[in-house]
Amino acid sequence: MSNALSSTQVVRKTVIRTAGGLVASQHRRAAEAGAQVLAAGGDAVDAAVAVSFAAGVAEPWMSGPMGGGAMTLYRADQNRAQVVYFGMRSPAGLDPAHYPLAGSGAVSTDLFPWPAVVDDRNARGATAVAVPGTVAGMELAHATHGRLPWRELLQPAIALAREGLPVDWYTTLMIAGSARWLARDADAAQMFLDDGIWPKTGGWATAAGQRIMMARAADTLACLAEDGPRAFYEGDIGAQLARDVRDKGGCLTPQDLRDYRASIQEPLSIPYRGGRVYATPEMTAGPSLARCLQRLQTRLQPGQAPDAGAFLAYADVLREEYRWRLSNMGDNEDPRTPACTTHFSVVDRHGNQCAVTQTLLSAFGSHVVSPSTGMLLNNGIMWFDPEPGKANSLAPARRCLMNICPVIGEADGRRFALGASGGRKILPAVMQLVSFLVDYRMSLEDAFHHARLDASTDIVTLDPGLPVQAYQAVAAAYPHAQAPRTFYPYAYACPSAVLRDGGENQGCTEIMAPWGDVAPEPPRG
């Protein structure tokens, strides 16, 4: 496949190694927020709470308080793993009849190629907003394992929001990809567009000072910090949020928010090659990962490095799994469309670890900003199949099926927290990275720099950086397309991970992620 990208440019990221804690995040400022919490004596869960809210400010189109997700964590003092589940739900008053199909074979133009719904009501606008769970998830994780006061953990996010979001080339690129939809909501247009039309730009003349102002979001976060997380579901924030959604045509109510609860779950415990992988259960990609690893353990015979046989095995098990998932779980996401998700991983100096994936679903979620809170809203309703009678059909008060797959893995004395953003591409990325780390005992640096494939559709996507024989073998076996590893959209997902080996902690983020970085815990005063 021909493209205009350089064939001589090399991109690498340095793996940070330290005896202290680490945070690996898709945004450097969010990672630094978590590292400062670790330096203040916080637990890995404390740091995860800080990163969650800071990431929602630093990358507001990727995740935030208005979304949902899950955390897989490991407690070194208890030698056990847990899952904190905080996925979104459809509102109790949602009526599937309000989402009629457009007909004539039309297909949605957003993340999932469902049959199109009239006016894209399930994908864009307030009618696409589901009940958010992120705040409740962070509340539950903190109440169970946190050490520092809740108020302190939100201060970095508040400070970032008061500063405003700097506009650089990547900000402009992200806004440009959604500008036509943002223009349809007056509050979103005011926040992200110039003259309600044009993406804000970080050109040479303005790069030093252009910022997206987030004062309203800062006030919301400050209220959450002072009044506590229940203010989001039972207080003024929740009441204002529900009113904003209803004023814009949605059906979210204060009762939906009051009824929402995050939950502690037992993780899937997946034996693999003498080690073990802990993954999210139920309505996530964790069960799919379990089935893939079970197949991979019998079909893959590891050698010194992943070869043609390894990548054929990867393609085989992933294609089999996605055929099953499409038939039984209703997951039908279009991997060509950028997903709106954040993943970050944390390890503290004691060996406690967190893998957290949180999302608004699409890039910029519903493309609607709540004026009272100053935050982008999710479009979780799009997770449901708009056709009735399907495995994942649209219905009221129902959990949303997610592709997220945050995991904790352990083998050969090493333990890692791993996950990715990227919709359907998450599972292939996580599975291959688990294999690199466990089957081939790669270093974290080698694993993150090694080329991967994606087999989440009938067309297998191949990185030209794959070993030649591996590339040729998979290309001969399956319909395929070549795609280089780049930063937009991510053809092979966007992972972040930390790894503990003995007393040393390591961290790395996707090498093509321009904002992704690892922040070490600063020395204590």
**Residue 153 belongs to a domain:** yes
- Looking at residue 222, what is its pLDDT? 98
In contact, 400 and 68? CB cutoff 8 Å: yes
- Looking at residue 335, what is its pLDDT? 43
**Average of per-residue pLDDT values in the chain:** 92
pLDDT(109) > 90:
no
Q: Which of 466, 460, 415, 459 is nearest to 437 (CA)?
A: 415
**Residue 201 belongs to a domain:** no
pLDDT(4) > 90:
no
- Looking at residue 460, what is its pLDDT? 95
**Residue 5 belongs to a domain:** no
User: Stretch 435-457: mean pLDDT, rounded?
Assistant: 96
**Residue 443 belongs to a domain:** yes
- Looking at residue 392, what is its pLDDT? 83
In contact, 278 and 267? CB cutoff 8 Å: yes
pLDDT(103) > 90:
no
Q: What are phi and psi of 464, to 5 degrees?
A: -60, -15
- Looking at residue 338, what is its pLDDT? 52
pLDDT band (50, 70, 90) for residue 101 = very high
Give the tens place of pLDDT for each residue, 55-68.
999 999 999 999 99
H and E: helices and strands count for the chain? 16, 23
Angstrom distance (rounded) from CA 167 to CA 202: 5
Angstrom distance (rounded) from CA 300 to CA 290: 15
Q: How far is CA 116 from CA 101, 123, 273, 423, in A?
A: 6, 9, 44, 20
- Looking at residue 208, what is its pLDDT? 56
**Residue 199 belongs to a domain:** no
In contact, 498 and 445? CB cutoff 8 Å: no
pLDDT(150) > 60:
yes
Strands (E), 317-442: 339-347, 353-362, 369-370, 375-376, 407-411, 414-421
Angstrom distance (rounded) from CA 394 to CA 124: 15
Domains in the chain: how many in total?
1
Give the tens place of pLDDT for each residue, 359-415.
999 999 999 999 999 999 999 999 998 989 887 899 999 998 889 999 999 999 999
CATH code for position 406: 3.60.20.40
Contacts within 8 Å (CB) and 24+ apart, 201-205: 201/167, 201/172, 202/166, 202/167, 202/168, 202/169, 202/171, 202/172
Give the tens place of pLDDT for each residue, 309-364.
999 999 999 999 988 765 554 444 444 445 578 999 999 999 999 999 999 999 99
Which residue in this structure is represented by tokens 């961290």? 507
pLDDT(141) > 70:
yes
Helices marked H in 202-306 — which ranges?
A: 215-227, 230-234, 236-247, 254-259, 286-299
- Looking at residue 333, what is its pLDDT? 44
**Residue 180 belongs to a domain:** no
Give the tens place of pLDDT for each residue, 458-473.
899 999 999 999 999 9
**Residue 4 belongs to a domain:** no
- Looking at residue 327, what is its pLDDT? 56
3-state class (DSSP) for residue 349: coil
Contacts within 8 Å (CB) and 24+ apart, 469-478: 469/307, 469/308, 470/306, 470/307, 470/308, 470/310, 470/311, 470/312, 471/311, 472/308, 473/308, 473/309, 473/311, 473/312, 474/308, 474/311, 474/312, 474/315, 477/312, 477/315, 478/315, 478/319
Give the tens place of pLDDT for each residue, 173-209.
999 999 999 999 999 999 999 988 888 886 554 445 6
Angstrom distance (rounded) from CA 459 to CA 519: 37
**Residue 202 belongs to a domain:** no
- Looking at residue 10, what is its pLDDT? 85
Angstrom distance (rounded) from CA 182 to CA 337: 17
- Name the DSSP letter for residue 425: G
Name the residue range of residue 361's domain.
25-164+213-520
Q: How far is CA 59 from CA 18, 373, 396, 410, in A?
A: 27, 16, 30, 30
- Looking at residue 427, what is its pLDDT? 96
pLDDT(26) > 70:
yes
CB atoms within 10 A of CB 4: 4
Enter the tokens of residue 506.
């390591």
